[in-house]
């Protein structure tokens, strides 16, 4: 009965009312294809942030300059004590001028050379700490998030570690192992990997059970391949942010540890040692330049890395891509 009504309806429709749609397979390819590229969008979003680009420029110039500064003409040795050839006295606390661009310190060393040498030391510490944090953080973080059996154990370790203030760990380690470059890097790396590992762990637990990973597992892909091919690409922005932020943190920690007497030995020029030398002379107006110059360079470096790192992390977040 129903069928008959339908047939009658069809009969009443004129043939020319409808026609076949001819699907063009080539055209549909074009429409369905998005030329979205993760890295291009990241760069585009980053370039829109003019302040961040400015600071990126500052960082590039600073890095280049600190690297090539020792080979430039007319540069002095950062640890050489300059002696006045006429009086055979050291050039103590000479004001900034044409001979000594940033002046000299209390024992006659060239402040300009010392600042750039100190910047090299501090940047070395920062990059080393950042690298260690990333390597340790990613290894532990992926294991933590991916291997369910390890989750409880590492969570317990994390809870213990996270309960102790970072400053206390830093102080304890540098106090016990005597201050040196490797001690500082070790102490800072061992306090820093924690937050990195947790970030990675959270990301990994989110991505772990997505469909494409389930498919990979069903097809018998080995775990290390899933980790490196399916997971790691998601972590690039986190890695960049941590490395960028490790530098201001390392510089700050170095200055602080030097102040409380656990920094690098005085013979090694570092930004912490320079600030500390400047602090001693701070109360005399005419010698204040010895605090100003290191402080300005430190602030320039830390602010640039901080702003740039955060802007990059924002840009690398696909949520902010159009």
Partner 1 sequence: MIKYALKRSFQSLGTLFIVVTVVFLLMRLMPEEGYFGSGFEKLDEVQKEAILKNMGLRDPLVIQLKNFYIRLVQFDFGTSTTYRPNVSVNEIIKDKIPYSLWLGLSSVFISMIVGIASGITMARNKNGFLDKLGTLYIVIINAVPAAVYYLFLQLYLTKFLNLPILFDVDRPISWILPIISMSLGSIAAYAMWMRRYMVDELNKDYIKLARAKGMKSKSIMTSHVMRNALVPMVQYFPASILMAIGGSLYIESLYSIPGMGGLLVDSIQRQDNALVQALVLIFSAISIFGLLMGDILMAMVDPRIKFGNSGGGR
Interacting residue ranges for partner 1, rule: CB under 8 A? 155-156, 158-160, 162-165, 167-168, 171-173, 175-177, 248, 251-252, 255-256, 259-262, 272, 275, 279, 282, 288, 291, 295, 298-299, 302-303, 305-307
Residue 71 or 160: which CB sits closer to partner 1?
160
Taking the complex as a whole, the smallest distance from the CB of residue 261 to partner 1 amounts, in Å, to: 5
CB of 262 to partner 1, least distance (A): 6
Least Å distance, CB 285 to partner 1, is 10
Q: Annotate 143-186 with DSSP letters as a single string.
A: HHHH-HHHHHHHHHHHHHHHTS-HHHHHHHHHHHT-S-HHHHHH
Nearer to partner 1, 237 or 304 (CB): 304
Q: CB of residue 198 vs partner 1: minimum separation in angstroms?
A: 9
Residue nearer to partner 1 on the CB measure, 127 or 151: 151
**Cα 71 from Cα 85, distance rounded (Å):** 25
The answer to whether the CB of 290 falls within 8 A of the CB of 105 is yes
Instruction: Report in angstroms how near the CB of residue 175 gets to partner 1 at its nearest.
Output: 6
By beta-carbon proximity to partner 1, the closer residue of 90 and 151 is 151
- CB 196 to partner 1: min, Å: 16
CB 126 within 8 A of CB 246: yes
134-137: Cβ within 8 A, 24+ apart: 134/196, 134/239, 134/242, 134/243, 136/189, 136/193, 136/196, 136/197, 137/192, 137/193, 137/194, 137/195, 137/196, 137/197, 137/199, 137/200, 137/242
Give whichever of 82 and 115 is closer to partner 1, judged by the CB atom: 115
Nearer to partner 1, 207 or 274 (CB): 274
Q: Which residue lies nearer to partner 1 by CB, 87 or 163?
A: 163
Kindly provide the residue ranges of all beta strands, DSSP E only, lying in the chain, ordered along the sequence.
Answer: none
Burial class (CB in 10 A: 0-12, 13-18, 19+), 287: middle
**CA distances to 57, 235, 278, 320 from 45, in Å:** 16, 18, 41, 8
**Cβ at position 11, least distance to partner 1 in Å:** 50
């Amino acid at each position: 009965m129903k069928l008959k009504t339908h047939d009658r309806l069809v009969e009443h429709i004129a043939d020319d009312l409808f026609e076949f749609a001819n699907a063009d397979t080539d055209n549909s390819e074009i429409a369905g294809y998005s030329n979205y590229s993760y890295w291009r969008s990241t760069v585009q979003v980053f370039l829109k942030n003019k302040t961040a680009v400015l600071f990126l420029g500052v960082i590039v110039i600073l890095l280049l300059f600190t690297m090539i500064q020792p080979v430039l003409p007319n540069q002095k040795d950062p640890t050489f004590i300059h002696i006045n050839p006429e009086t055979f006295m050291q050039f103590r606390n000479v004001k900034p001028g044409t001979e000594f661009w940033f002046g000299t310190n209390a024992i006659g060393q060239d402040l300009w050379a010392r600042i750039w040498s100190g910047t090299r030391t501090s940047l070395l510490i920062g990059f080393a700490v950042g690298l260690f944090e990333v390597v340790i953080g990613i290894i532990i973080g992926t294991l933590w998030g991916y291997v369910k059996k390890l989750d409880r154990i590492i969570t317990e370790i994390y809870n213990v570690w996270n309960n102790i203030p970072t400053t206390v760990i830093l102080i304890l380690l540098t106090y016990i192992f005597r201050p040196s470059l490797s001690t500082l890097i070790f102490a800072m790396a061992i306090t820093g990997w924690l937050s990195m590992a947790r970030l990675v762990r959270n990301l990994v637990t989110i991505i772990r059970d997505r469909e494409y990973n389930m498919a990979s597992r069903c097809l018998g892909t080995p775990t290390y391949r899933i980790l490196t091919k399916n997971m790691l690409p998601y972590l690039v922005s986190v890695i960049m942010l941590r490395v960028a932020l490790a530098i201001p943190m390392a510089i700050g920690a170095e200055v602080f540890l030097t102040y409380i007497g656990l920094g690098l030995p005085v013979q090694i020029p570092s930004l912490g040692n320079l600030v500390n030398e400047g602090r001693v002379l701070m109360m005399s107006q005419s010698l204040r330049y010895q605090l100003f110059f290191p402080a300005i360079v430190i602030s320039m470096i830390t602010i640039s890395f901080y702003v740039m790192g955060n802007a990059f992390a924002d840009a690398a977040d696909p949520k902010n891509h159009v």
